Structure 1
Amino acid sequence: MSTSPAGGPTRAVVVDDSRFMRTLIRTLLEDADVDVVADASNGREAISVVGEHRPDVVTMDIEMPEMNGLDAVEGIMDECPTPVLMLSAHAEEDADVTFEALDRGAVDFVTKPGGEVTSEMPRVKRELVEKIQSAAAVDLRATQRRSRPPKTETKRRPKSESTTPKPSLTALPQEGSTLVIGASTGGPNVVERVLAALPAEAGLRVIVVQHMPEGFTNRFAERLDGRCDYDVREAEDGERIGPGQVRIAPGGSHLLVTGDRAGRLTLHLSDDEPLHGVKPAIDLTMASAAEVVDAPLAGVLLTGMGRDGVEGMSRISRAGGHTVAQDEATSAIFGMPKRAIEAGCVDVIAPDGRITDETLRGIST
């Protein structure tokens, strides 16, 4: 059974301009004991319905008449703050809008169910219900303690024009130092802040594992590339990366570090089964890095539900690496970081605005 943070069934509002889609989503959720207390066919109606019913979570379509999902998210956050889960199609234009929705206050997104009933429907249902549970558990007070990043720009800002404050380094990290970041629900904007604060002269090799559906991680990489001083791309099988490069684990594949030679990491994509129900899994990437990286290594575990990343952080710690976990006050969901802290494998607990500083301090010579 899906339960709300206050106990009892999770209460949801479904927003979509398609009657068929509203019925389909309602059926999938109610079959998993989620209480759909109301639905709405456009953004304006959604704001009113959410204010009236005060649900635990809202599923939000993007394109709707009268008021679209983006404006509805902003309206809900202004008038009756409630965790919003965006339903997004597998399309590049939808990916752009979805990330803008996260900027405006949405907490996560999931691939929208297709209209036809296929053998994939059990998987779609499972993913939707899991995302509903995660979104309903989000602490909006934590997300509101952080300033929202600027809305998505249509033009890429030259890296030399970065306005994000960078830490003043008393000592540069050793050449070849490596950082592995893991994040889940509530993570994209925090990952952005951490990377945007990395000074180019630190010259880190960075790998990011963000739980995200296939088809969205490439756009996520492009977005990050325009907002930090590093070269950010989606990881490719067999590539080698060096200082000043960031690679994002592709949705639908595990990312492993298989070699560290001549200052460059060799990356491998694996199609193995999901771990902890996710693919990519933070644990596999961190553990592989701990196994092969020779230079200083740091692991950072950010907001998210579950325990993915706990074993990976433990492996990095046992290998002599530096580990940092996001604190409870700024975590949308203090699940993964809390479990890593309880496991005794975290060196520093920090708010999102100090994670970069604490990471650099820990691996600088």
Structure 2
Amino acid sequence: MTRLLIADDSALMRKLLAEIFRAEGDFEIALARNGAEVLDLAATFRPDVVTLDVNMPVMDGLTCLSRLMIEAPCPVVMVSSLTRSAAEATLEALDLGAVDYVAKPEGTVSLSIDRIRPVLVEKVRQAAKVRLRKALRLKERVRHQIGSVENRSPRDAVPVPTVQRPRTSAARPQANAGEPDGLVLIGASTGGPQALETILSGLPEDLPWPVLIAQHMPATFTGIFAQRLDRLCRLAVVEVDRPRPLEPACAYVARGDADMVVARRPSGLIVLPVPASPSFVWHPSVDRLAQSTLQHLGASRLLGVLLTGMGNDGAQSLARIAAEGGRTIAEAEETAVVWGMPGELTRRGGAGQVIPLQDIAAAIIREVMPHAAGQKRP
């Protein structure tokens, strides 16, 4: 049996979520009304996984999560509404150590809860299998053990620095300045936001290839996520909410609940949002992005990177890139929150390199900027 702790200030939401998991037949369930109760139950119930609301009385979800990851680390899935403030809080929760998130259904909850049932159950099951990294919040855990973390807020525990760097006009999407030599395609799902922060913050401001990112995420989240990355990174980062020319030193985040494709115009290559296709299971679709890119560029001009995530999105198309002479990178199992997507690429024989997260930015630089990296590209 999987021990699941459900935390929500709404009695109706607690009841509906509990019914979903009781119907599965293999969950032992405890309920909490606020963050303080979560911390008490973490010590007595010892959950394998927690679903955590953001807005709760007595102790809110972020404060609870911050303390939980220090006092009794366990996998957490955030269950939050689709508001801007909730999206910002959810992204902060991922930085604090949450494994994943599920957006609450809009409208009458009792009538619309079934819409999130399959994805909620799957994400909780996957989260329960996650082994939290031993280094997660290690410094804060040590401080807590010696009694020096009293009154620390979540924002104190995980500062989000802003990269200070000059921004020239060339660092922003603009009119075509010549077609880039190649493109970097990155796909991610569960655990992806933190992984993308790690990689993009390690890339230089003069990266000559544009970076295209398909991160499975709702539309409410992707704009805020792109803004967050833009503050953290030397590259200019934008959400693709309209057609944009592809420029060096820029990263393009696919808009959520849609797909992103590459197209050619008289002025050069562009990237644009398109309605989500039912032919693809996950959105924004990594496979659809890669397939559209291959229509306009040869595989030898592509570098595909597949990061942590459930399922197999991107594996087929990146394996094709590798087979046709392109380069591919799969995140290693040791650092992936869920080794579904990169694992599938590896099993298909399509991973040119299988390397841990902290080494991927350097690998991208070696592939895209061989002279700057001091060595030749294979």
Which TM bucket (shorter chain)? 0.7 to 0.9
**What is the CA deviation profile of residues 298-341 of structure 1, one whole-angstrom value per residue up to 9, with x for unaligned ones?**
01011112111111211221332110111111111112111111
Aligned equivalents of 1:147, 1:191: Cα separation in 2: 22
Cα distance, 1:272 vs. partner? 1.5
Cα distance, 1:115 vs. partner? 6.6
Does the 8 Å CA contact 1:26/1:36 hold for their aligned counterparts?
no
Aligned equivalents of 1:358, 1:206: Cα separation in 2: 14
Matched residue, 2:287: 283
Match for 1:289: what amino acid? T
- 1:66 and 2:49 matched: no
Larger Cα-atom Rg:
2
Aligned pairs, number:
343
- 2:297 is matched with which residue: 280, 293, 296? 293
Matched residue, 2:96: 104
Matched residue, 1:210: 215
Aligned equivalents of 1:344, 1:208: Cα separation in 2: 22
Aligned equivalents of 1:283, 1:33: Cα separation in 2: 34
Does the 8 Å CA contact 2:3/2:27 hold for their aligned counterparts?
yes
Q: Which runs of 5+ in 1 are unaligned?
A: 1-8, 162-173
**What is the CA deviation profile of residues 166-219 of structure 1, one whole-angstrom value per residue up to 9, with x for unaligned ones?**
xxxxxxxx9432111111111101101111111111222111111112311111
Cα distance, 1:261 vs. partner? 6.6
Matched residue, 1:177: 182
Identity %: 35
Aligned equivalents of 1:117, 1:196: Cα separation in 2: 39
Aligned equivalents of 2:130, 2:195: Cα separation in 1: 14
Does the 8 Å CA contact 1:323/1:359 hold for their aligned counterparts?
no
Cα distance, 1:118 vs. partner? 6.7
Cα distance, 1:236 vs. partner? 2.7
Cα separation, partners in 2 of 1:183 and 1:160, compared to 1, 3 Å: same
Cα separation, partners in 2 of 1:88 and 1:327, compared to 1, 3 Å: same
Matched residue, 2:229: 224
Matches within 5 A, 1:242-257: 242-257=247-262
**What is the CA deviation profile of residues 57-95 of structure 1, one whole-angstrom value per residue up to 9, with x for unaligned ones?**
100011112211111112221122111011111111111
Match for 2:285: what amino acid? A
Matched residue, 1:187: 192
Q: What TM-score do the two structures reach when normalised by structure 2?
A: 0.83
Q: What TM-score do the two structures reach when normalised by structure 1?
A: 0.86
Q: Which runs of 5+ in 2 are unaligned?
A: 141-154, 168-178, 371-378
Cα RMSD after superposing both structures: 2.6
Match for 1:60: what amino acid? L
Aligned equivalents of 2:88, 2:38: Cα separation in 1: 22
Cα separation, partners in 2 of 1:348 and 1:262, compared to 1, 3 Å: farther
- Paired residue secondary structure (1:141): coil
Does the 8 Å CA contact 2:255/2:273 hold for their aligned counterparts?
no
- 1:238 is matched with which residue: 238, 243, 247? 243
Cα separation, partners in 2 of 1:248 and 1:156, compared to 1, 3 Å: same
- Paired residue secondary structure (2:190): coil
Aligned equivalents of 2:286, 2:27: Cα separation in 1: 32
